[in-house]
Amino acid sequence: MFLHLTRISMLLTFVVVVLGAYTRLSDAGLGCPDWPGCYGKVVVPDTQEKIDASNEIYASRPLEPAKAWKEMVHRYAAGTLGTLILISAFLAWRNRSRPGQQLVVPLLLVGLVVFQALLGMWTVTLLLKPIIVMGHLLGGMTILALLAWTYMKSSRGAPATRTDQHPLRVWALLGLIVVALQISLGGWTGANYAALICPDLPLCQGRWWPPMDFIEGFIPWRGLGVNYEFGVLEGPARTAVHMSHRLGALITLTLVGYVAIRAILDTGPKIKLAGVILLLVLLTQFSLGVANILLTLPIAVAVTHNGVAALLLLSMLALVFHTRYTMT
């Protein structure tokens, strides 16, 4: 039961991450101006009388049902995920005496889910503050990674044991760190609405190095009471954010591509397969990033870009696992 719940939770976390990206990219992040309900209701107001009453309370942000439903569907899914993780932690505690039963990570996940819920609340109450929006994305990715790690260690029904020093151990870990940093840059780019500040490739605004303000672009906190919907950065600051993500993509493509090719050339079948999957996901993700610019950020491509980022993280994590553990 613990293994089944972990697998279901992992899949649902991926769905929640994609739904969160869709909510943000369709400008529905403030579709409900309150939390955890929507205009004071558990369900989006659907009658004209309820809509009028809601608009009286939140006169500064009239109800847009389509955006509100996007936000609430994301919250429903996240709430369901939190419940599953809580049940998994209970099962882990109950079965803690069994050989190979993991306990620390399931309990840690409960704390992370609570913190992730707080980040979801602050995303709304702090009006899409970029550091909170990025943190919310990274929180979701961290939960996904920990669930995947738990599943990989438990999936064979026997404890995972550390392998001998594999030559790719350090490289795989370095690749995981680079992927995590690149996802962070992507989250910062999206939260600051900087994805389209450079509409051309390989140049940016017709130059190899356009005017950029890195200090302004990476200020983490700007105080309270600022509405960050659609961004507050000036052009040079947004350009600095975008170019950082673009340069990060090249570094990720080079380093992770090298690690993937090394894994493909390995003699171990699991590592070889992990390398093939990693390389395919990496090339897909890079292509989606290029398509986002050339096609002017169509929502389907942009959401897929976020989803494949999660798959890239999982693929890199799988390689890290197989270079460090074997199932007994």
DSSP string, 217-236: HT-----SS---TT----HH
Dihedral angle of Cα 45, 46, 47, 53, to the nearest 10 degrees: 20
Query: Is the pLDDT confidence value at 32 over 70?
Result: yes
Cα 320 to chain center, whole Å?
19
Residue 162 binned pLDDT confidence (cut-offs 50, 70, 90) = confident
Q: Is 71 a catalytic residue?
A: yes
Mean pLDDT of 178-182: 98
Q: What is the mean pLDDT of residues 21-25?
A: 97
Give the model confidence (pLDDT) of 91-105 as tens digits. Answer: 999 999 988 789 999
pLDDT value, residue 326: 72
35's tokens: 């939390």
The three-state secondary structure class of 296 is coil
Confidence label for 42 from pLDDT (cuts 50, 70 and 90): very high
- Which whole number is the average pLDDT over 14-43? 95
pLDDT of residue 140: 97
Give pLDDT tens digits for 312-328: 999 999 999 999 987 55
Task: Please report the pLDDT score of residue 325 as a whole number.
Answer: 86
Query: Would you say residue 120 has pLDDT above 70?
Result: yes
User: What average pLDDT does this structure show over 122-133?
Assistant: 96
124 membership: H or E segment, kind and range: helix 104-125
> What pLDDT is attached to residue 65?
94
Exactly one of 56, 71, 216, 229 is catalytic; name it.
71
User: Average model confidence (pLDDT) for the chain?
Assistant: 94
How high is the pLDDT of residue 226? Answer: 92
Q: Where are the domains of the chain?
A: 1-158, 161-328
pLDDT by residue (tens digit) across 252-293? 999 999 999 999 999 899 999 999 999 999 999 999 999 999
The confidence score (pLDDT) of residue 160 equals 61
Which residues have CB under 8 Å from 79's CB, separation 6+?
36
Distances (CA, A) of 234 to 8, 242, 245, 246: 43, 12, 17, 18
Q: pLDDT tens-digit profile of 210-253?
A: 999 999 999 999 888 899 999 999 999 999 999 999 999 999 99
Residue 267 has what pLDDT? 87
pLDDT confidence bin for 159, thresholds 50/70/90: low
